[in-house]
Amino acid sequence: MGKVISVANQKGGVGKTTTSVNLAASLAYYGKKVLLIDFDAQGSATTSLGINRSKLTGNLYDALMGIKTIKEVIIPIQVADKKTLDLVPATIDLAGIDMKLLEQNDHTFVLDSIVAKVKAQYDYVLIDCAPALGISTLNALYASDSVLIPIQCQFLAIDGLTQLLNTIRVVQKNLKVNKRELTIEGVLLTMLDKRTKAGWAIVNEVKEYFQEGVFKTFITSNVAAQVAPTYGVPILTYAPKSSAAVLYKSLAKELIENNENK
Ligand SMILES: Nc1ncnc2c1ncn2[C@@H]1O[C@H](COP(=O)(O)OP(=O)(O)O)[C@@H](O)[C@H]1O
Ligand SMILES: [Mg+2]
């Protein structure tokens, strides 16, 4: 059964999409069957993987609304050599999704019910969350086994994390009733500028706060991470030798080890 992991942080610009896309691609690189769900109306993960959103015939909105099945909206994406991952794309259609979800019964479990239909076919299902803590992100958390929290190594990095952690706690409590668990997969430090003291100070601050909960791998600031999406490919395709490509592969390895070598 595939492990479902939400990549979440209500702050924008912390590396959620970059991490979702490149962790998904790196897991696929290591032979894992991966489904990436783009749950942000901006559709950045979708565009980052070279999909022209205006040409799509179906997207996550259609699946959530029951207009199409999740299988009908999945697109296979070539990531490295002969490796592929599956993508559930997002478009601007998702912009009004919170209101639409609220109209449904069991409105926090809509994503869970559609992911349940396909997760057995995958090793990992990653959900790229929107920068918000509304119904959409709650749907992602209720569908998940764990949460990966990217934190940008910048001033005020852990500001606002209390709200995210409180939300996770509420979901954990409610899932327990259903005999399910939501764990924290790990905190990922992103965009570290290794040359600055300020960057390392954040690393220390976050490590103090989350202790063992921080991934050993941290992602440094790297121009390849910024440029790859403009070519519509993951970093490991655009610049396989770049530090970002190497680090996201190392993150994938760490995650696989944490989950499969117990
Ligand atoms: N390791 C990195 N090095 C340099 N720039 C990065 C890195 N990771 C992400 N970025 C850039 O930072 C911005 C925000 O990243 P993104 O993944 O879109 O964050 P979020 O999804 O949390 O809003 C993007 O422009 C992205 O290209
Ligand atoms: Mg994003």
Check whether 35 has a pLDDT greater than 90. Answer: yes
Q: Which pLDDT tens digit goes with each residue over 15-30?
A: 999 999 999 999 999 9
pLDDT at 261 over 90: no
Domain count, the chain: 1
Q: How far apart are CA 94 and CA 18, in angstroms?
A: 20
**100 C-alpha vs ligand 1 centroid, how far in Å?**
29
Residues with CB under 5 A from ligand 2 (ion): 16-17, 44
Task: Answer yes or no: is pLDDT of 168 > 90.
Answer: yes
**Residue 178: Cβ-neighbour burial (10 angstroms; 0-12, 13-18, 19+):** exposed
**What's this model's pTM, rounded to 2 decimal places?**
0.97
Give the separation between CA 250 and CA 159, rounded to whole angstroms: 27
Average pLDDT, integer, range 49-66: 95
- Indicate if ligand 1 lies below 6 Å from the C-beta of 191: yes
Q: Which domain holds residue 87?
A: 3-260
Residues paired with residue 126 on neighbouring β-strands, in sequence order: 5, 36
Task: For residue range 228-251, list pLDDT tens digits in order.
Answer: 999 999 999 999 999 999 999 999
Beta carbons of 61 and 95 less than 8 angstroms apart: no
Taken as a whole, the chain contains a residue count of 262
**Ligand 1 nearest atom to the CA of residue 226, by list position:** 27
The one-letter code for the residue type at 262 is K
194 within ligand 1 shell (Cβ under 6 A): no
Residue 20: helix, strand or coil by DSSP? helix
Are the C-beta atoms of 251 and 188 separated by less than 8 Å? yes
Alpha helices in 13-102, H assignment, sequence order? 16-29, 44-48, 60-64, 70-73, 97-102
Mean pLDDT of 55-66: 96
> What residues are paired with 158 via a beta bridge?
none
Per-residue pLDDT band for 186 (boundaries 50, 70, 90) equals very high
CB 39 within 8 A of CB 115: no
Q: Which ligand 1 atom sits nearest the alpha carbon of residue 18?
A: 17
Confidence of residue 1 (pLDDT cuts 50, 70, 90): confident
Evaluate: CB of 131 within 6 angstroms of ligand 1. yes
Q: Give the integer Cα–Cα distance in Å for 108 and 250.
A: 33
Ligand 1, residue 222: give the atom nearest the CA. 3
Nearest CA to ligand 1 atom 15: 15
Averaged confidence pLDDT in the chain: 96
Ligand 1: atom nearest CA of 223 is: 4
**Which pLDDT band, with edges at 50, 70 and 90, does 198 fall under?**
very high
CATH, residue 68: 3.40.50.300
Which residue in the block uniquely carries the two structure tokens 């119904």?
135
Provide the pLDDT for residue 147.
Answer: 98
Mean pLDDT across the stretch 74-80?
A: 93
pLDDT of residue 262: 63
